[in-house]
Structure 1
């Protein structure tokens, strides 16, 4: 892959440790993902054989401290997400579901016993987690969820359904959010519990090298201590979503950069009318526009990372990156495909795959519309959700 010009010397804004993390993940993607991703996508296969290697790479729960977690900075996690998504959104999504959603929920809201039981194995890749919030009829409005957990003696009994739940069919532990008589609570549900069933959703036109599932919960009986003790109300799952949204703000830059690099390399070698396609003014305009948007997106993501490491990151600021960077990434992937001409629909080239994946990324963890309203409420002081 051709080196992408760094127009603003972005690397100078990073520390040696941050560059080392980025370069290590980039090398992993180059060696272990790029040669096979087109086949995995075509065959709709998530490469589970990479899970131990991702654990060894130190990207599972990498931003969490203790319990066997790597304890890296927010910026380092963001850079890793960017490199993973340059390979494929499905790979970054796996790391996000495992670390930013499932592990983050346990790390933030779990008991000490729950943390000790699950987090070291999840960081080591021997236990996979999933995060069950979205329902068939409850996506952008999780307050309307109908999954319910009732007390029955000392036990909890869960009934309901979840949809578009990443990794559920290969997970050993599920973080399930449910209504109770006391409001929304989070529950740790071992996936071998009777009444728990996860079914992969197929066929898909996007995120094909990834796993999303329907979950059915039928009289799932759990012990009294199965709930996350400090998770009460929707603020708890929303905090986990913000962890994932932060990673998305970085990750989509990787998809955009890979699309741009593919188009740039192609335009320099593809000849039409006795000259490289890159020598035409319209092509150069496309390349410049893409490069400018990537540079801006990187600066936004880095600013958020610095704020997060300083403990000052606000939810509306995450929406800036999730909305703006994802919107830019989709436009770049689509424009990159045009430079490839007819060859752009071939799986040999990445932009069309990235564009298809990004349609999912722009939808999950808050649609464009939801993040627009988050920012609108912050700007005006008026909530327009209801």
Structure 2
């Protein structure tokens, strides 16, 4: 063959290969159906023949080889018999058994926006169109009046350090103003507030006192009221809800115990169906034995919501003997119930204690929802727990983040070292950037997550994401705030606005699902099955022995996996430029990058589940890292929505960029840790090349943005004000620990130019004296300041000093107060020592 002809053939072959590759990428990226793939392959072969790249013989032989494959894949009946049936048998063999409890946990709650993020192709317009709840006039009035009045009654130091309880007048006010009945409908005497309003109320109270916030939030979270509204009989609602609404009854819910924490299904507390006497007559009922711990409000509760395992050994109810977890309402003064003792959770003052009962007989009608709800308590608890996780703990996390941001910003500008506000030092700014970036993310996540409940959604996965990450951000923010405040933060007393929240960190981390288990087991473990479009339906088809259904799901799943892998690869090659964004401007890049990481998560999760199967659940560190990816996709999308809903103010862009860059960097680190520890090194390398074809794409937030965040926190208005507006700051009260900081910051803004000039005169030796007063007198005598300016400077110095000093007490106030026996022992020891 002529050399020129050979070169043409080589070039045509190369073009054919490139066309094939590009065609594959294009079709896979679009996610076309199997008939389109078949037609595309046929057209490609025809093109090879017509263009002369392949001879008629070669094209014909190839077509003959591929035709049976095409028929096999495109004829469902044939495909089921030849391809799917063996896969189906193998799948059923390895399918792990699922208990009724596990099934109820998986089916409880709803999937929401996290489903879009998990599936690799989020519809950003759906997020932008999602309505975020606006407070009604009644809710806003309650927040501005009753909640503010309650906050004014709360003295952190007196409650936490001295009394270890809320004052009697606070308890009376909470009951009188129906703080315990925010979720109860107005028809029963409650407020009937939205989920978002409840979150706002708890957040505002928590910026003032966490014990009071916990006291208010628990009856409005997991408690008898929530369970009664969703599952109670009409008679139960008519009796209990009005009494709960007006404060006649104080509720608690007893779930956890010494051996039962996050694994509530293993509770040893039990009830046996039997006959017994109630109100003078023999009735069918339950004899209960239980020992619960860590029950908030138990020491003061009048009605107990109780979870236990119900057994019916004599078949008095018919059906199974072991009925499963059941929930009942029991008055705490009922014979055999023991309440009143208190725990002391991290020296916090909220009421928490044990509940016990031995041979407590209750009628069947006390089961929440009546006898027909016997054994259905686990589903009830899972759904109500998801609501609590979405509102209560995130509200505490947001409150701590807001307080850390607002007070640290003020303190960093007021406190000076080396003749500069400490907020000017880059090391301090690094901590302040985290505080400010987290505060922005916390408020964005609180707002979006709380609004989900008002849309009729019970987001089980989102609630786990919010609970875990928002309490962890609470931990980091308070630690950073403590670092910036230094000695000012560690000395207990009335002036310390950080200490009580700092003490409460482990409470938020531990309750409503321990954070370690929430991250390692729930976020991805539940999210992978609930959010994936095919995994759970495939499992159900296998359990129902539905071969036809499994066949449709299997091949759709294969197409989905190829599509997401190609999307991740193409978006990676293009630097996410091919990813869609619903808007232009500074945030468009982040929409595209999040779309890219969403596709990467869908692909990697599919490979991991396909290779590891049920073992992925046990490889908690791997699944936790994929959970971190899903979590930060959600948190980053909340930040974007929060910014856009406010009209995309330019002043907030440093906060937005910091939060989004931090999330993207965390996503990369999570993927990197997953891939470095994936059991198959070959597959790990393949997945890395697919999702990061050009290497590491993300890094930590820029120092420049961190500096701007820190500087914004030191300004009394602007972003700082909008970001923390939900809190109670006693802004005009110089005698309040936080109000004093607010007054001082506003005063400093006005006096700072004069104060800086005065400090320069001192540094240059133009003003003499050992004390501030002596120097000020000399400056006045020199004519450097007027009488009015001198008074202004002295007033500022007094206020500044009042802000930076810490409390000190007479020795007897904080000395140990030993019991009489301890005094006697100590006296005996002294006597022996003397003799």
- Pairwise CA distance, 1:217: 0.7
Q: 1:47-72 deviations in whole A, cap 9, x for unaligned?
A: 45323322444432313323111111
- Pairwise CA distance, 1:337: 1.1
| 1:222 pairs with one of 353, 362, 368 | 362
- Pairwise CA distance, 1:359: 0.9
Cα contact 2:383–2:458 (8 A) shared by 1: no
Return the structure number with greater strand share: 1
Q: 1:159-208 deviations in whole A, cap 9, x for unaligned?
A: 120010011111100001111121111111111112111243444424x1
- Pairwise CA distance, 1:78: 1.0
Return the structure number with greater helix share: 2
- Pairwise CA distance, 1:23: 3.5
Quick one: structure 1 residues 243 and 51, their matched pair in 2 at CA, closer, same or farther if it must change by over 3 Å?
farther
Could you say which residue in structure 2 is the equivalent of 1:95?
216
Could you say which residue in structure 1 is the equivalent of 2:438?
293
- Pairwise CA distance, 1:146: 1.0
- How far, CA to CA, are the matches of 2:146 and 2:478 in structure 1? 22
Query: Are 1:377 and 2:508 an aligned pair?
Result: no
Query: Are 1:272 and 2:414 an aligned pair?
Result: no
Could you say which residue in structure 1 is the equivalent of 2:17?
none
Quick one: structure 1 residues 88 and 101, their matched pair in 2 at CA, closer, same or farther if it must change by over 3 Å?
same
Could you say which residue in structure 1 is the equivalent of 2:583?
none
Cα contact 2:396–2:508 (8 A) shared by 1: no
Query: Are 1:144 and 2:266 an aligned pair?
Result: yes
Q: How many residues align?
A: 372
- How far, CA to CA, are the matches of 2:305 and 2:452 in structure 1? 28
Cα contact 1:89–1:255 (8 A) shared by 2: no
Could you say which residue in structure 2 is the equivalent of 1:6?
none
- Superposition pairs of residues 128-277 of structure 1, within 5 angstroms: 128-153=250-275, 154-181=284-311, 182-206=323-347, 208-228=348-368, 229=370, 230=373, 232-247=376-391, 248-277=393-422
- How far, CA to CA, are the matches of 2:440 and 2:412 in structure 1? 20
Could you say which residue in structure 2 is the equivalent of 1:53?
173
- How far, CA to CA, are the matches of 2:152 and 2:332 in structure 1? 33
Could you say which residue in structure 2 is the equivalent of 1:40?
159
- How far, CA to CA, are the matches of 2:338 and 2:300 in structure 1? 11
Query: Are 1:77 and 2:225 an aligned pair?
Result: no
Higher relative contact order by CA 8 Å / sep ≥ 6: 1 or 2? 1
Partner SS state of residue 207, structure 2: helix
Partner SS state of residue 188, structure 1: strand
Query: Are 1:308 and 2:541 an aligned pair?
Result: no
- Pairwise CA distance, 1:233: 3.5
Pick which of 157-166 and 243-252 moved more: 243-252
| 1:321 pairs with one of 466, 469, 472 | 466
| 1:363 pairs with one of 510, 513, 533 | 510
Quick one: structure 1 residues 261 and 204, their matched pair in 2 at CA, closer, same or farther if it must change by over 3 Å?
same
Partner SS state of residue 139, structure 1: coil
TM-score by length of 2: 0.43
- How far, CA to CA, are the matches of 2:149 and 2:504 in structure 1? 21
Partner SS state of residue 308, structure 2: strand
- Pairwise CA distance, 1:371: 2.0
Cα contact 1:88–1:255 (8 A) shared by 2: no
- Pairwise CA distance, 1:101: 2.1
TM-score by length of 1: 0.89
Gapped regions of structure 1 (runs ≥ 5) = 1-11
Quick one: structure 1 residues 331 and 64, their matched pair in 2 at CA, closer, same or farther if it must change by over 3 Å?
same
Cα contact 1:151–1:157 (8 A) shared by 2: yes
Pick which of 115-124 and 259-268 moved more: 259-268
Quick one: structure 1 residues 324 and 339, their matched pair in 2 at CA, closer, same or farther if it must change by over 3 Å?
same
Pick which of 157-166 and 97-106 moved more: 97-106
